[in-house]
Amino acid sequence: MPNHILSLNNVSKTFYPGSVNQVEALKNINLHVEKGDFITLVGGNGAGKSTLLNAISGYFFPDAGEIIVNDQDITYLKEEKRAGMISRVFQDPKMGTAPRMTVQENLSLAYRRGERRGLHLGTSKEETKLYKEQLASLGLGLENRLDAEIGLLSGGQRQSIALLMATLKRPDILLLDEHTAALDPKTAKLILELTDRKVKEMGLTSIMITHNLQDALTYGNRMLVLHHGQIVRDFNQAEKAELTTESLFNEIQKLSLNEMFV
């Protein structure tokens, strides 16, 4: 039997129901994710990609359906209660880190993710050693900047620390929402390679939203195409390997063209 770490059963979410602005952002989503899956998620603007990750992370609750993580029904579990199992990195490097706090303080907070704030907020020598090792592994020289305020670092440096923070304490599921979209191409590649390395080394289960079709094909072992709140394509690793950016682009174009006939 497949080992599903995450399941969405008939999950729906409508914004502004009953009004002229009504948006069916998720329509009856069924998704089963196996442990260790690295899924790339593509689709046009407004397709519902971020909404899907928001439902999983508990940013808001779905209107219908259920979300199961590790056999636990978390559909209506508060966001902060899921923080120990689910971590996220957002598009904006400012979102994942606290700007007025130092690198060390940010990492220390991440290290305690999902725990009740205890009396021991100080950082032990072992922890500092761990942070230095982790920072050194980025290859950006940040291990010498533990006392620097995060807000003074570049977007790429912040995003690499955000990724480190999201994985410092092993999450069951890592959610990435266009986490390289705000970076220059070289830095974006660096962060993507770091992501890939972390996912592989730690055997993480991850869903990564991207608008870069090449990245969607290069990374991960499965790819979903979301369109108008529905999963309209689900490519496994072998099918994904057959695709080119051109053929994928054509698939996505076809979906939009079909709208003219419905």
Ligand X SMILES: Nc1ncnc2c1ncn2[C@@H]1O[C@H](COP(=O)(O)OP(=O)(O)OP(=O)(O)O)[C@@H](O)[C@H]1O
Nearer to ligand X, 161 or 174 (CB): 174
Is 227 in a helix, a strand, or coil?
Answer: strand
Question: Of residues 189-228, which lie at the interface with ligand X (CB under 6 A)?
Answer: none
Cα 99 from chain centre: 21
Site residues (CB under 5 A) for Mg ion, limited to 17-56: 49-50
The listed partner (Mg ion, ligand X, none) that binds 48, CB under 5 to 8 Å by sort, is: ligand X
- Please provide the DSSP assignment of 120-166 as one string: --S--HHHHHHHHHHHHTTTSSGGG-TTSBGGGS-HHHHHHHHHHHH
Q: What's the sign of the alpha-carbon dihedral 140, 141, 143, 149?
A: negative
Between 47 and 191, CB nearer to ligand X: 47
Is residue 13 within 8 A of residue 66, CB to CB? The reply is no
- The stretch near ligand X (CB under 6 A) out of 46-54, 113-121, 131-139, 148-156 is 46-54
43 binds, among ligand X, Mg ion, none (CB under 5 to 8 A by kind): ligand X
The closest alpha carbon to 204, from 66, 88, 58, belongs to 88
| Unique residue bearing structure tokens 């390997």 | 241
Which residues touch 180 (CB under 8 Å, ≥6 apart)? 159, 187, 188, 191, 192, 210, 212, 215
210 binding partner (options ligand X, Mg ion, none; Cβ < 5 to 8 Å by kind): none
45 binds ligand X (CB under 6 A): yes
181 binds ligand X (CB under 6 A): no
Stretch that binds ligand X, among 47-55, 106-114, 143-151, 191-199 (CB under 6 A): 47-55
* Residue 199: alpha-carbon gap to chain centroid: 11
Record the tokens describing residue 199, joined without a space: 């996912």
Work out whether 23 is an interface residue with ligand X (CB under 6 A): yes
How many residues at the interface with Mg ion, by CB under 5 A? 2
Q: Is 133 exposed, middle or buried (0-12, 13-18, 19+ CB in 10 A)?
A: exposed
Are 132 and 143 within 8 A, CB to CB?
A: yes
One residue of 46, 99, 139, 141 binding ligand X per CB under 6 A: 46
CB of 208 to ligand X, least distance (A): 13
Nearest approach, Cβ of 47 to ligand X (angstroms)? 4
Burial class of residue 12 (count of CB atoms within 10 Å of its CB; 0-12, 13-18, 19+): middle
- Residue 59 CB, shortest distance to ligand X, in Å, is 8
Q: Kindly indicate which of the ranges 40-48, 122-130, 215-223, 243-251 contains the residues binding ligand X, using the contact rule CB under 6 A.
A: 40-48
Q: Does 25 bind ligand X (CB under 6 A)?
A: yes
CB-based contact 220:39 (threshold 8 Å): yes
Please report whether residue 48 would count as binding ligand X according to CB under 6 A: yes
Q: Which is nearer to Mg ion, 49 or 82 (CB)?
A: 49
**147 φ/ψ angles, rounded to the nearest 5 degrees:** -95, 5
48 or 171: whose CB is closer to Mg ion? Answer: 48
Check binding of 51 to ligand X (CB under 6 A): yes
Residues that bind Mg ion (CB under 5 A): 49-50
